[in-house]
Homo-oligomer: A and B are copies of this chain.
Amino acid sequence: MAPRRGHTERNGACRRYRVSQGTVRKAIDELSAENLVVRRQGKGTFVATHAEQGVQYRFLKLVPDNGSVESEGPAARTIIDCKRNRASADVARALGLRTGDAVLQVRRVLAFAGVPTILEDIWLPGSPFKGLTAERLASYQGPMYALFETEFGVRMVRANESIRAVNPDAEQARLLGVSSQTPLLSVERVAYTYNDAPMELRRGLYRTDTHHYRNVLS
């Protein structure tokens, strides 16, 4: 029998779907362009995850003003609150739920170099995240989206952000250690899992005295 040489998996997909190698490659190219999979030379193609080094916090566009590396992600995370709640009209609409449906609500502060910089209010649909507690959030090392993947099987694949400039209310100002006259970035994010299903609403307040929101246009 003639020896088979290389490309076993690629050819496997070809046989499975009755198409040629080039077509399989093109399809995977498109998944890769959407950041749904990641390719690694000589190793293989893998489902993209928020857990692996180098692409952690890939949805976080706030970077330090000086080009310092920040060693990937905030140094300190403090859970202020984590409670069950009923969805208000706007939260329900963002998450594709009905007003009054069960949601999980989290408030936390992220600090860089000891300075509280981000205050986030997060709303999650109740049923996919049943069992999420403040303790679990507090004890988990690494990005929240990595926890969502490993503990709840929810993978965020894309998000939309709406950005405004606002002043904080009294409590927000207190939690960030600024005056209520300090202008802050308001970043409202809706994150989606597969099939365009919204799975998180996140309202962030960012201090922009030492950091800025960085965006690339093309």
Do residues B183 and A184 form an inter-chain contact, with CB atoms below 8 A?
yes
- Establish whether residues B183 and A166, one from each chain, have CB atoms under 8 Å apart when the complex forms: yes
Residues B164 and A185 in contact, CB atoms below 8 Å apart:
yes
Oligomer copy total: 2
Q: State whether A35 and B166 are in contact (beta carbons under 8 Å apart), knowing that A181-B181, A183-B183, A183-B184 are contacts in the complex.
A: no
Query: Which 7 A-B pairs give the minimum distances between C-beta atoms?
Result: A183-B183, A165-B183, A164-B208, A165-B165, A163-B213, A159-B217, A158-B218
Q: A161 contacts which chain B residues (CB < 8 A)?
A: 214-217
Which chain B residues lie closer than 8 Å to A181 at the CB level? 181
Interface size, A (range): 20 to 34
Q: A184 CA to B214 CA in the complex, in Å?
A: 17
Give the interface SS of chain A, mostly helix, strand, loop or mixed.
strand
25 contacts between A and B (CB under 8 A): A33-B33, A59-B217, A157-B218, A158-B216, A158-B217, A158-B218, A159-B218, A160-B214, A160-B215, A160-B216, A160-B217, A161-B216, A163-B208, A163-B213, A163-B214, A163-B215, A164-B185, A164-B208, A164-B212, A165-B165, A165-B183, A165-B206, A165-B208, A166-B208, A183-B184
B contact residues around A162 at 8 Å (CB): 212-215
Is B163 a contact of A185 with CB atoms below 8 Å? yes
| Cβ–Cβ < 8 Å partners of A22 in chain B | 22
For A181, the closest partner residue in chain B by CB is B181
Q: Taking the nearest CB of chain B, how far is it from the CB of A218, in angstroms? A: 4
**Smallest CB separation, A49 vs chain B (Å):** 14
